């Protein structure tokens, strides 16, 4: 009945320094926004117990993954600890074609790759309220030795200077406020003239 | 304490065809969003009882108003029924400099003028859910003869084709949903990288 139609879904790229809390924010956002789809990655690592093909990951062999790289079937990819991880284009395109929003949580290097292939995405940078907070969070995790943490903090400082490539910046001070901002960005982007057709 | 600072307020221009309900939406938005400032117009018409200088309008003589036009002190202006009405730049600039958001509710012609002087504003087009609804609303008002209503509907049809000049389009189907969209746009715009400084 309405005169407007969202003809195309939105690719929401949520990125930021390690330890900034983007994982927590995205999980909370997914829990609150029912119509949001999560981008499922492809990996060459072996499935863990209870992991399901197409839910946690798409599991592929190295040969299959390398064929996807060559065929430009990945929005971005990287190698960690001997395994490939990447974002398959087919899943993103499928969700967008249905007019739905898809959420991609990714590190800064990955976001840079996505921006090259998919500049029409909405790029959100999650910022720590301060470097002290980021340092605290990285220490609290307790998973990394001090020198790795120091390196991460140095990286984060450099990354903060790259925010000009992003559309939005959301400070992760209080989770509820940050999630409200992310939800508002989704609603606002759905109202953008370029995302609407008059029918 | 945070690393981000909204260094500049946002000029929110809410426009749309006559009868689309933008007045109602803006009043509701003002009631809900406490930190929002309303743009007060300048006029040459005489104050009505209970109207206060600087609240409903700034009241000026024709000579003073014409001096403001010449001095480019108005974001836009028009003449209705022998009186001038305009948006004074000084009030908008004052609010923006304080880092606050200012709301300007205005017709399509006025919005066009504002866009020329202040392209960095956020331009929101309020659309009727359908032409049938717009027609109904204009008839319900009961303030205008049929031929004026028909002319307004024809104008609205032409105006809808101008939405490419706007940033956002919000369908005024249900008031509560439309107001939520306007609020989301304000929050999202506050998160835009270009509206934030890293301090």
Give the pLDDT band (50/70/90) at residue A1. Answer: very low
Cα–Cα dist A105/B177, whole Å = 28
Nearest residue, CB atoms, A171 vs list B2, B183, B188: B2
Domains of chain B, by residue range, sit at 4-41+99-198
Cβ atoms of residues B173 and B56 within 8 Å: no
Q: Which fold has domain A4-198?
A: Rossmann fold (3.40.50)
Tell me: pLDDT of B1 over 60.
no
Percent of chain B with pLDDT over 70: 95
3-state DSSP assignment of residue B11: strand
Beta carbons of B185 and A191 less than 8 Å apart: yes
Q: Is A20 annotated as a binding residue?
A: yes
Per the CB < 8 A criterion, the answer to whether B197 and B4 are in contact is yes
The CA distance from B184 to A187, in Å, is 6
- The helix or strand, by DSSP H or E, that contains position B27, with its residue range, turns out to be helix B22-32
Interface test with B, best of A2, A185, A191, A195 (most B CBs within 10 A): A191
ipTM of predicted assembly, 2 dp: 0.82
| Closest residue of chain B to A192, computed from CA coordinates | B168
Q: Is A21 annotated as a binding residue?
A: yes
Q: What is the mean pLDDT of residues B1-6?
A: 62
Chain A contacts in chain B segment 24-83 (CB below 8 A): none
* Selected residue of B2, B163, B184, B192 to mutate for chain A interface (largest A Cβ count, 10 A): B184
Is residue A94 annotated as involved in ligand binding? no
pLDDT at B198 over 90: no
Q: Is the pLDDT of residue B3 over 70?
A: no
CB A154 within 8 A of CB A44: no
| Mean pLDDT, chain A, whole residue set | 89
Residue B192 touches partner A, C-beta closer than 8 Å? yes
A184 closest CB neighbour out of B173, B184, B198: B184
**Pick from B170, B191, B196: CB nearest A191:** B170
What are the structure tokens assigned to B34, written together?
Answer: 């406490």
Q: Residue A112 has what pLDDT?
A: 94
- Please give the pLDDT value at position B177: 95
What is the overall mean pLDDT for chain B?
89
Q: Which of A131, A167, A188 sits opposite B193 (nearest CB)?
A: A167
A16 annotated as belonging to a binding site for a ligand: yes
Dihedral of alpha carbons A17, A19, A23, A26, sign = negative
Residue A164 to residue B193, Cβ atoms within 8 A: yes
Burial-class residue B132 by CB neighbours within 10 Å (0-12, 13-18, 19+). exposed
Residues 6+ away with beta carbon under 8 Å from B113:
B75, B76, B77
Residue range B98-124: mean pLDDT, rounded: 93
pLDDT > 90 fraction of chain A, expressed in percent and rounded = 61
Chain A residue with Cα closest to B192: A168
Arithmetic mean of pLDDT, B124-141 = 84
Residue reference for tokens 């990819």: A77
d(CA A176, CA A174): 6
**Chain-chain contact of B193 with A1 (C-beta, under 8 angstroms):** no
Whether B52 has a pLDDT exceeding 60, the answer reads yes
Examine the pLDDT at B34 and tell me if it is beyond 80: no
- A136 pLDDT band, cuts 50/70/90, is confident
Residue B7 has pLDDT above 70, yes or no: no
Q: Which fold has domain B4-41+99-198?
A: Rossmann fold (3.40.50)
Whole-number pLDDT of residue B199: 61
Given a cut of 80, whether residue B5 has pLDDT beyond it is: no
Mean pLDDT, rounded, for A153-169 = 86
User: Of A82 and B1, which is predicted with more confidence?
Assistant: A82
User: A116 pLDDT exceeds 80?
Assistant: yes
To the nearest whole Å, the CA of A76 is away from the closest chain B CA by: 23
Q: What is the greatest pairwise CA distance in chain A? A: 60
Is residue A189 within 8 angstroms of chain B, CB to CB?
yes
CA closest to A157 among chain B residues: B198
* pLDDT reading at A199 higher than 70: no
Residue B95 pLDDT > 50 = yes
Q: Give exposure, B151-186, as e/b (b: 16+ Cβ within 10 Å).
A: ebbeebeebbeebeebbbbbbbbeeeebbbbbbbbb
What is the reported pLDDT for A7? 66
Q: Are strands A122-127 and A168-171 parallel, antiparallel or unpaired?
A: parallel
Percent of chain B scoring above 90 in pLDDT:
62
**A115 contacts in B (CB within 8 Å)?**
none
Contact A188 B184 (CB under 8 A): yes
Query: What residues in A contact B169, CB-CB < 8 Å?
Result: 4, 191-193, 196
What is the nearest CA distance from A158 to chain B, expressed in angstroms? 13
pLDDT, tens only, A27-81: 999 999 878 999 999 999 999 999 999 988 999 999 999 999 999 999 999 998 8
Cα–Cα dist B187/B179, whole Å: 12
Taking residues B9-18, report their average pLDDT. 92
Beta bridge partners of B71: none
Q: Can you say which residues of B are annotated as belonging to the binding site for ATP? A: 16-23
- Per the listing, tokens 């990714």 go with A106
């Amino acid at each position: 009945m309405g005169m407007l139609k969202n003809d195309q879904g939105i690719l929401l790229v949520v990125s930021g320094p390690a330890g900034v809390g983007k994982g927590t924010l995205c999980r909370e956002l997914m829990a609150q926004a029912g119509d949001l789809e999560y981008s499922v990655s492809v990996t060459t690592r072996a499935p863990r117990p209870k992991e399901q093909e197409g839910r946690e990951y798409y599991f592929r062999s190295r040969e299959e993954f390398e064929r996807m790289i060559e065929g430009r079937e990945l929005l971005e990819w990287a190698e960690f600890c001997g395994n490939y991880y990447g974002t398959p284009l087919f899943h993103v395109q499928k969700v967008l074609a249905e007019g739905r929003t898809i959420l991609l949580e990714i590190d800064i290097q990955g976001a840079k790759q996505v921006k090259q292939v998919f500049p029409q995405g909405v790029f959100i940078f999650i910022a720590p309220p301060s470097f002290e907070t980021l340092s605290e969070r990285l220490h609290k995790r307790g998973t990394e030795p001090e020198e790795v943490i120091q390196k991460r903090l140095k990286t984060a400082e450099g990354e903060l200077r790259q925010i000009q490539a992003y559309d939005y910046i959301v400070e992760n001070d209080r989770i509820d406020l940050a999630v409200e901002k992310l939800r508002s960005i989704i609603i606002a982007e759905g109202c953008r003239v370029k995302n609407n057709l008059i029918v």
